[in-house]
Structure 1
Amino acid sequence: MKNYYQVLGVPEAASEREIKQAHHQLALLLHPDRTPDPQAQALFLDVQEAYEILGDQHRRLAYDLLRQRARELAQAPRHGLSPYDPPPAPVRRAGPRQQDIWAAQLRRYVPWARRLNWLIVSFCLSLFVDWAGPMREFTDEHVTAREVVFVSVSRSNPRIAYHITTTNTNFMLREEFGIDRLRVGWPLTVWRTPIWRVVRRIQPHGLAAFQPYAGGIYSSLAFWPAVLLVVAGAGLLPRRSHEQQLNTAVVAGLLLIITVFVLVQSA
């Protein structure tokens, strides 16, 4: 006879409210719509069967009487056994283990983790296409605004840069270049990437072309998208466990936040 109290994870003296609450939590966790796993579906059927018995007052009373009768028969002396021999241990069917519940929770989030990894891989590929593709050239740009910003993190060595705004673009310029090379109204040529609009080269009128300050994701931090691509791609490899897919998605998500921040600073 199944121990429905163990199936629901409640004591035999549990109240009707405790039984109903335990059934609601397990049914919500193991429902086939949420966890399409054969083992979870079997546990869900056991939970439903247990609640049909214990959730009804009359059926629960009859069930308790049957269990009491079964215990008395198990403790009664049998032919060939001494009445002083200990009764055989009853066979019990355990309810859902904590490990099974944890595995069911992991399976619920795996599809979202895979979607996030695919999104990050697509983002990294777009960065590569943006970097490798032909840049868009703006030949008739004029400086419309120039703002001083602090870029140093050390108080003992303060440094400033210039945030330059042109007709169609904006970028950062080093302190030693900002005063003499670009002033408001001066003409210049700007080369910008086609997808993420990162300014990679500028050429003031009559001067040689050079890179703006903090080329960002396409210069000193070019390794960052590569790390992001490796982490997200590892989560999409076949035969990865649910835990590995979730871990790679979490790490890749944190790296994505940093990458987007650097990209916004560069754009």
Structure 2
Amino acid sequence: MQNYYHVLGVGASATAREIEQGYLRQRTRLRQLAADPAMRARLTEVEAGYGILGHPRRRVAYDVLLAQEPDMPVLPPHYAAAEARWYHHARLARSLNVALLACCLLLGFDWALPLRQYPLETVQSRFPVSVPAALSAPEMAYRVHTAHTSFRLPSAIGHRVRMGQAIVVWQTPLLGIVQRISVPESPDGPAPFRPYGGTIYGTFFLLPLLLAAVAAVGTWPGHSPETYVNTAAVGALLTILTLVMLLCF
């Protein structure tokens, strides 16, 4: 038998006013999570509980029936508050997962759309921008600017792009990530090569796919609050890793 006192978060000796306050508190909290089928089911239980406990005669009859039931384990007094905090965190975590999934969809559209090509861009500037912390393998990266694009090159291929050279650049249409570069007059040949950042759609493409899968699980209705919070935490870590790959490699 359902214990509607526990559903409303009040004690068995609660006054009519306390029962009404418990009902309003639970209804307000659950209506904020109404998109979740599990929360809608809880809201239905709250409505049913108030329909019985909020009516004096029905409450008397319910108390008689409840007294005949075996003793149920008593919940700790802080249980309702802790549960409310979990659902509050779950709502925020689910919103974060929705935002992460939207970012992954943006990356997907950016990858799927045709690349914007800039033929014969003139290299306007080229200068070193970073040195890795590993003293055993020092390496520089070069920041290159043209009229329409900006990208970084590792030192291993930095010699292929020189000041004043005419190059061909392929860039994604939405986020402006330079995917490929070709230097027709290079001694190494005109074969396209990738700069830093372009590998997010190449070598590291599994990373945004994994992030999208985690975020999708964290937005699907019907999961427990723990699932929403855990997927948001994992998604945040994957987002940081994706940004590092995008900016550094």
* TM-score, normalization by structure 1: 0.62
1:1-267 mapped onto 2 (5 Å cutoff): 30=25, 32-36=27-31, 97-179=77-159, 181-207=160-186, 208-214=190-196, 215-265=198-248
Structure 1 gaps, min length 5: 1-6, 9-22, 47-90
Change (3 A) 1:169 1:195: same
Q: Distance in 2 between matches of 1:252 and 1:237?
A: 14
Question: Is the CA contact (8 Å cut-off) linking 1:35 and 1:108 kept in structure 2?
Answer: no
Question: Is the CA contact (8 Å cut-off) linking 1:117 and 1:236 kept in structure 2?
Answer: yes
Structure 2 gaps, min length 5: 1-9, 12-17, 32-41, 54-70
Deviations 1:192-246 (A, max 9, x none): 0111111111112334132233333122221110111121111233431111112
Give the partner amino acid of 1:130.
D
Question: Is the CA contact (8 Å cut-off) linking 1:171 and 1:212 kept in structure 2?
Answer: no
Give the structure 1 partner of residue 68 of structure 2.
none
Residues 165-174 or 152-161, more deviating: 152-161
Question: Is the CA contact (8 Å cut-off) linking 2:180 and 2:192 kept in structure 1?
Answer: yes
Give the partner amino acid of 1:205.
P
Give the superposition deviation at 1:35.
5.0
Q: Distance in 2 between matches of 1:187 and 1:159?
A: 25
Percent of residue pairs identical: 32
Question: Is the CA contact (8 Å cut-off) linking 2:181 and 2:195 kept in structure 1?
Answer: no
Give the structure 1 partner of residue 57 of structure 2.
none
Aligned length: 198
Q: Distance in 2 between matches of 1:163 and 1:156?
A: 23
Give the alignment's Cα RMSD to 1 decimal: 3.5
Question: Is the CA contact (8 Å cut-off) linking 1:150 and 1:158 kept in structure 2?
Answer: no
Give the partner amino acid of 1:111.
R
Residues 168-177 or 192-201, more deviating: 168-177
* TM-score, normalization by structure 2: 0.66
Give the superposition deviation at 1:107.
1.6
Change (3 A) 1:243 1:176: closer
